[in-house]
A and B are shown apart, each in its own frame.
Chain A
Amino acid sequence: DGGITQSPKYLFRKEGQNVTLSCEQNLNHDAMYWYRQDPGQGLRLIYYSQIVNDFQKGDIAEGYSVSREKKESFPLTVTSAQKNPTAFYLCASRSLSGNTIYFGEGSWLTVV
């Protein structure tokens, strides 16, 4: 089945460590997105990419980095510079000609 796969589902990180969240889609979508969600809050855009080898900062890009070397993959690295990284992270994708956004199941990151 087509869809978006995020991994891992749950991740624990020690302070000062970088961690990378994986996002893979087999929907042949051009655009991919990363959102952060804190408990009881809406989604905030971290980064987005419309095409391979190109990406743009969203509203809360500080402390995060991304790459888009392949169309189907858009990994997010949470760096040690991110002061409050504990959150629920959501990856999404969309066809540039379509209206619907498809989301992955999300990844929970906890800093211990």
Chain B
Amino acid sequence: DAKTTQPNSMESNEEEPVHLPCNHSTISGTDYIHWYRQLPSQGPEYVIHGLTSNVNNRMASLAIAEDRKSSTLILHRATLRDAAVYYCILRDPLQPRQLTFGSGTQLTVLP
């Protein structure tokens, strides 16, 4: 599986935007970029995914670099409920194996 690199932790102030980076320099042409988040003692929750173009949904936006070697998850207005571990994952839909979750970025939101 192609590897992703994320900072171990980040902090943000409530109601400010948050940009969570992810590097994936060995991404292949068929890999989708997925983001999940996990609250304490809960299963991970899907946030967003994309292939080449930037993507928006009600939870977040995903900005993908033109060379696809990095991406950024954008939370437009952080709330206390956004405090979680955020995982950036690559997945090739043609491969049957499930993708690998690294240790992610622990986001702390300060009131």
Contacts and interface: CB of A to CB of B under 8 A. Distances in A.
Interface of B: 32, 34, 36, 41-46, 49, 87, 91, 93, 96-98, 100-104
B46 A100 contact: yes
A33 B104 CA distance: 20
A42 B87 contact: yes
A43 B96 contact: no
A101 interface: yes
A50 B100 CA distance: 17
Nearest to A98: B93
27 contacts: A4-B43, A33-B98, A42-B87, A42-B100, A42-B102, A42-B103, A43-B44, A50-B96, A56-B96, A58-B97, A58-B98, A59-B100, A88-B41, A92-B43, A92-B98, A99-B32, A99-B49, A100-B46, A101-B36, A101-B44, A102-B46, A103-B43, A103-B44, A103-B45, A104-B43, A106-B42, A106-B43
Contacts of A41: 103
Tell me if A's interface is mostly helix, strand, loop or mixed: strand
Contact of A42 (B91, B97, B104): B104
A78 interface: no
Interface of A: 4, 31, 33, 35, 40-45, 48, 50, 56, 58-59, 88, 90, 92, 94, 99-106, 108
Contact of A48 (B41, B43, B91, B97): B97
Nearest to A91: B43
Given A48-B98, A50-B96, A99-B91, A90 B49 contact: no
Given A99-B32, A101-B98, 16 more contacts: A31-B96, A33-B98, A40-B103, A42-B104, A43-B44, A48-B96, A56-B96, A58-B98, A94-B98, A101-B44, A101-B46, A103-B45, A105-B43, A106-B41, A106-B43, A108-B41
Nearest to A6: B43
Which 10 interchain pairs have the tightest Cβ spacing?
A103-B43, A43-B101, A42-B101, A42-B103, A42-B102, A100-B46, A33-B98, A90-B43, A103-B44, A48-B98
B29 to A, nearest CB: 16
